[in-house]
Amino acid sequence: MSVRKLKPITPGQRGRVVNGNDTITTDKPEKSLLAPKKRSGGRNNSGRTTSRYIGGGHKKRYRIMDFKRDRFDAPAAVKSIEYDPNRSAFIALIQFEDGEKRYIIAQSGLKVGQQVVSAEKAQPEIGNAMPLKSIPLGTIISCIELRPGQGATIARSAGAFAQLMAREGRFATIKLPSGETRMILSTCLATIGTVSNSDHQLVVSGKAGRSRWLGRRPRTRPVAMNPVDHPMGGGEGRASGGHPRSRNGIPAKGYRTRQKNKASNKYIIERRKK
């Protein structure tokens, strides 16, 4: 994985940093795994805007993903590594011996022709999915289930990974990408390796139009609003806006909004870093 800095032959190219895409092997998705994706433009069923700054954007089709990895003890060959417009990570097309094809999140280092498997007793190699109870301690993992059979919900974005720290009884201790350390049932599945496309954070769009292609409309700064529109609006001249807070008045930047009596608090060993 690499990034390229473009020559400033146009104003939009100046400062633009693009993904090298050297790991992507095809630009044509598998047709049988595509689904239509409807855009709401931030409107509800009455046609009223309920989420601001959403609209436009290039037409997309959803890639049907296999987050559950529930075909056990069936090896599959990696057919291609592909771009997915619906997520920051790259995806891998795998094909089982009976011809069935599925899309999975591609781990960093996954190659075309490589065999991956989901099994309780598999080799802890990149792309293999295993229960936490079978993975060696200290292993770097991603695409982790929070509840058995739910499908991967943790560490799915580009470059994300967690680490298996310990096991005790029915639970395994995981250090999450946020820095939080928590317990998860050791029967939950996880995939070996780091999620691909770790250079995603280095990409620079270069122009406002690229945000429009992604369906993001211009965002008004709260400080530039009137008091009726936002708690940080108003004031004579260029007022700073006071304490940073949301449109509903909830403080930002460090204010804790997690419920003190939340049921899952007992599974959190160490909170994420401030």
Dihedral of alpha carbons 198, 204, 210, 214, sign: positive
Among 37, 7, 12, 44, which Cα is nearest to 211's? 12
**pLDDT recorded at residue 51:** 95
**pLDDT recorded at residue 241:** 86
Which residues are CB-contacts of 251 (< 8 A; sequence separation ≥ 6)?
A: 243, 244, 245
Strand 162-168 with 61-63, pairing = unpaired
139 exposure class (CB count in 10 Å sphere: 0-12, 13-18, 19+): middle
Complete edge-to-edge strand list for the sheet that includes strand 162-168: 129-131, 189-192, 140-142, 162-168, 171-175, 181-185, 268-270
* Tens digit of each residue's pLDDT, the chain (274 residues): 689 999 999 999 999 999 988 899 999 999 999 999 999 999 999 999 999 999 999 999 999 999 999 999 999 999 999 999 999 999 999 999 999 999 999 999 999 999 999 999 889 999 999 999 999 999 999 999 999 999 999 999 999 999 999 999 999 999 999 999 999 999 999 999 999 999 999 999 999 999 999 999 999 999 999 999 999 999 999 888 889 999 999 999 989 888 999 999 999 999 987 6
- Which residue bears the tokens 């001249």? 237
Which residues are CB-contacts of 257 (< 8 A; sequence separation ≥ 6)?
A: 250
Q: Cα 186 from chain centroid?
A: 23
Q: Which amino acid is at 13?
A: Q
Residues of the chain within CATH 2.40.50.140 domain(s) are 3-201
How many other CB atoms are there within 10 angstroms of residue 34's CB atom?
Answer: 14
Alpha carbons 1 and 61: distance in angstroms, whole number: 25
What are 183's two structure tokens? 């317990």
**pLDDT recorded at residue 155:** 95
What's the pTM value of the predicted model, to 2 decimals? Answer: 0.91
**pLDDT recorded at residue 165:** 95
**Class of 3-201 per CATH?**
mainly beta
How many other CB atoms are there within 10 angstroms of residue 163's CB atom?
Answer: 16
Among 18, 8, 68, which Cα is nearest to 200's? 18
Q: Does domain 226-266 have CATH number 1.20.120.330?
A: no
**pLDDT recorded at residue 273:** 77
Residues of the chain within CATH 4.10.950.10 domain(s) are 226-266
Among 201, 4, 24, which Cα is nearest to 110's? 24
